[in-house]
Structure 1
Amino acid sequence: MAIHGLIFDKDGTLFDFQQSWGAWFARLLDRLSGGDTARRDALAARMEFDLASSRFYPGSIFIAGTSDDMVAHIADLMPHETPQSMLAHIAAMKAEPAQVPALPLAPFLSGLRASGLVLAVATNDAEAPAHAQLKTAGIHDQFAYIAGYDSGFGAKPAPGMLLGVAQKMGIAPHLLAMVGDSTHDMAAGRAAGMHCIAVLTGPATRADLVNHADIVLGNIGEIPEYLSKTT
């Protein structure tokens, strides 16, 4: 297996999902509910989010969906808001979360690049916050290309985003690996003809991912050893 480049999902892959987004999402629900605890609880249930532990259940649409998907999913619970106003709330708060890296990212990504791999990011987050978060983490310059769901290629699990990123990287899809924490990531990678590497730093379990990936690793730090054994 020859792998010339890696396309990383962002949340749950480069960054630990629950630690990065759990408390933030609890604050978002408070803002959207306007202090109405019954509405907050209904929103949490619809979004498959445990308020007591500030953790997402594996099936939550927030994990792999886009902001547009989430707004459509809760619109009937929010008659006092428009989709545009809800998206504005989400966008305003996206600057708040302190992303928790899955491991020290700058030396790890530099090591991958030093080994000859080209790196990119493909996230179902919007492009602007993705760029901002990667800059805050000090790793933005490690990536040849960064795509969000609004970058013009569509969203995962459809393969368009990955195929578009592959084209920007100048590498044929079969020479790339998609690295992600969700079945959406794996489905997109498979449909794009890429190798699929799943990691367990998101809400999905090994059992959730094993039938969709070529390999399930604990975190991205195990990728170099895995590639050394398969190339």
Structure 2
Amino acid sequence: MRMWPDGYGRILLDGVDSTNAEALRRAGDLAGPAWICAHRQSAGRGRRGRAWAMPEGNFAASLALRTAEPPERRALRSFVAALALFDAVAEAVGSDRGLALKWPNDVLLNGGKMAGILLEGQGEVLVIGLGVNLVAVPDAAALETGAVAAVSILGETGVRVGAEDFLDRLAAAYAPWETRLVTYGFEPVRQAWLARAARLGERIVARTARETHEGTFETVDASGALVLKTAKGRESIAAADIFFG
């Protein structure tokens, strides 16, 4: 094991229904923040209750943290996790070429979705779930219409990364970003995320449960909301699905 950060637990499982569910089940027994990684996941889930498929050889892990922060502060961990994923993948393949971050919680590689993030909470426990297509992609039929096509690290770069090796890289990448957030607040994390953002300055579509917003992606504000310049003026959107068209 290499580069493992001080103070973080490391739990490896052969298989589980969902690493997020397992993290929530174990939360009461954890002495500190802990990573839970499984080689197989039978009932992974993504945002809005969607299923997250995990072909053999891909990566599924969750980080369980204890925090008494309010929900809006906890939600900023999606940006921390995205930056950690960006760094871990770049380190694993030897380049950050083609990597970009898609608001609110995806990581792209050569324009395709390579990884996703899901935050869930229970009491003072925050669980950050991360799924990464290391070697394979899910069935295209499972994707939402208009969604970004899925890609894998192996398929796009020719580099094969094992799940345990990637866990070590990810944990090492996450810890300093977490420290920045706790020490300096969201602003340095926000600026770093924007420097890696997909389609910044371009027209995108943001769909909520009730509305569709189309405009130029201007920035992410201090609360983590997406800011669009639309025909109606500047609009801040706290949660939505993003489509590039």
- TM-score, reference length from structure 1: 0.26
Give the structure with the larger helix fraction.
1
The structure with higher relative contact order (CA 8 Å, sep 6+) is 1
Hey, which of these two has a bigger chunk of strand by percent?
Answer: 2
TM-score, normalising length: structure 2: 0.25
